[in-house]
Structure 1
Amino acid sequence: MDKRTTSRDGTALAYDVRGQGPAVILVSGAMSTGGTVAPLAERLADRCTAVVYDRRGRGASDDTPPYEVDREIEDLAALIDAVGGEAVLFGVSSGGALVLRAAASGLPVPRAAVYEVPYADFLPGGAEREAAYKEQLGKALAEDRRGDAVELFLRLTGLGEEMIRGARQSPMWAGLEAVAPSLAYDDTVMGDGLLPGDRLAAIGVPVLSVAGGASPGWLREASRAVAETVPEGMHRVLDGQTHMVEPDVLGPVLADFVTG
């Protein structure tokens, strides 16, 4: 990433800008950097000014402890200023939870879109599972057991034990451990893991909540609940898509929303 801006607390953020048109900032989810959403930015660039960035504590961006969600909202404010003073926000998974919090905060965001924010209300035992994950993750990171923290997250996403063992032996594991401390950030953004009804009801701009038709049912239900709770909420299901949505499928839908 060849551009940098500085957040209110002095944290340097790395970002890239691609294309021309209305600005949209792409917010990645847990265990990811701006590179994760870069293919989507390429798909948007013919109609939008697509901005990808490394969230604090990841990739080429710096970090300034202690972590607070408000600092990440200030990061988005700095990026909005850097690209002209107004931008649509789009977030994937827990990055979507950050986008919804930012949209409710009063930032100059004319509209916002999210993809499958994993609110656990619609998963049997979801609240208990989230509480156990929060406790175990905090302990692993406090003891600097980064690999164990990554394993906890992979299990939370439903990855099987054999696949986790294989991942530990793969070249990508060192990179996963490098961003493991940021798992605590996404966990804080998600709060208790349940849909924050009062916050969503206070969002005063249009919100598009998208889900994949091949994703687990509870994720689709959570996506619909977001759209139904936001006053100007809209819902869209992309046939055949999973939580790892294809940029060529999502891109046109998101571009229509951003430019509409």
Structure 2
Amino acid sequence: MAQPDSPVDDITTEMVTSADGTSLGVHCLGSGSPVVIVHGSISTAESWLQVASHLAVDHRVFVLDRRGRGLSGDAPEYTLETEAADIAAVLALAAESTGGVPTLVGHSYGAICTLEAVRRGSQVASLVLYEPPLPVDGPVAGQHLAPYAAAIAASDNDAAMRIAMEHFIRAPAAETEAISATPLWGLFLSLAPTWTRELAEIDACVSVMSEYGESTTRTLLLVGEQSPKHLVGASAYLESRLRNVSKHVLTGQAHFANLVDPGQVASAINTFLDR
């Protein structure tokens, strides 16, 4: 496999329409077998473009802006089913334009969306899951969703994000303070309102969580060496149930290695795809 001196940065965009008529923006780059990437909450496709640029040396990569952000539109009705339909539309674009069956990569809540898409019948060559926050040991948001939603309703997105960092991401206070001093915090604040509905869907997916563990798709679990316990536990839950699964620990990283060390993330995915 080629090892570039610098990653691919020639990016184009495509628009596709989901089942409910919502327009979806997709960032496309590279050539080769297809890979579709689905980002997590409080982020956009841009958070995965560095990883995508490394993968694009050997693959045609499609990075979806999930509904409600980036290039994509939105709709009043929102469920995991609408997310799954969005992913199905992008998978169809990837298959049609390359002639291959795509690998599907999901990060955080986006990984839950990919599990739901596969559960609902989307065909993929393989699956890469980077720490889906499944409610394995109880609700992820639970009693803290109401104060989060109240802060959002009061337009106090900063307070909402601090609730989220403490109770949903479960990051140390020092990490929250460090992030809040960076430009990334502003992006978090701008996208915080979309997280309310997603948190509700995360806690509700407990009703189908056992079905996620029944997939026979070849799957790679990416787990940060320093990730919060509940995220590591959710990956362990899948590892113990999936029939065709392997795990890769991201050395020295936590939940956002796609931003901090995109080369390591891309290398792990490429190694998996080369097997």
Give the TM-score taking structure 1 as reference length: 0.85
Q: Secondary structure at the match of 2:61?
A: strand
- C-alpha distance in structure 2 between counterparts of 1:235 and 1:195, whole Å: 25
Q: 1:243 aligns with which of 239, 243, 255?
A: 255
* Shift, 1:197, TM fit: 4.3
Moved more, 58-67 or 197-206: 197-206
Give the TM-score taking structure 2 as reference length: 0.81
Percent of aligned positions that are identical = 25
Structure 1: any 5+ residue segments left out of the alignment? none
Could you tell me which residue of structure 1 aligns to residue 117 of structure 2?
102
Could you tell me which residue of structure 1 aligns to residue 213 of structure 2?
201
- C-alpha distance in structure 2 between counterparts of 1:133 and 1:220, whole Å: 21
Q: How does 1:146-225 map to 2 (within 5 A)?
A: 146-155=157-166, 156-159=168-171, 173-192=185-204, 197-225=209-237
Given that 2:214 and 2:241 are in contact with CA atoms closer than 8 Å, whether structure 1 keeps it comes out as no
Could you tell me which residue of structure 2 aligns to residue 68 of structure 1?
79
Given that 1:29 and 1:186 are in contact with CA atoms closer than 8 Å, whether structure 2 keeps it comes out as no
Given that 2:141 and 2:199 are in contact with CA atoms closer than 8 Å, whether structure 1 keeps it comes out as no
Could you tell me which residue of structure 2 aligns to residue 231 of structure 1?
243
Whether 1:19 and 2:30 are equivalent positions in the alignment is yes
Moved more, 189-198 or 11-20: 189-198
Provide closer, same or farther for how the CA distance between residues 258 and 104 of structure 1 changes in structure 2, counting only shifts above 3 A: farther
Q: Secondary structure at the match of 1:203?
A: coil
* Shift, 1:137, TM fit: 2.9
* Shift, 1:145, TM fit: 4.2
Provide closer, same or farther for how the CA distance between residues 195 and 248 of structure 1 changes in structure 2, counting only shifts above 3 A: farther
Q: Secondary structure at the match of 1:2?
A: strand
Provide closer, same or farther for how the CA distance between residues 9 and 195 of structure 1 changes in structure 2, counting only shifts above 3 A: closer
Given that 2:43 and 2:187 are in contact with CA atoms closer than 8 Å, whether structure 1 keeps it comes out as no
Which structure's relative contact order is higher, taking Cα pairs within 8 Å and 6+ residues apart?
A: 1
Provide closer, same or farther for how the CA distance between residues 195 and 35 of structure 1 changes in structure 2, counting only shifts above 3 A: farther
Could you tell me which residue of structure 2 aligns to residue 111 of structure 1?
126
* Shift, 1:48, TM fit: 1.3
Deviations 1:57-80 (A, max 9, x none): 012211011211111111111111
Q: 1:33 aligns with which of 11, 36, 44?
A: 44
Size of the alignment, in residue pairs? 256
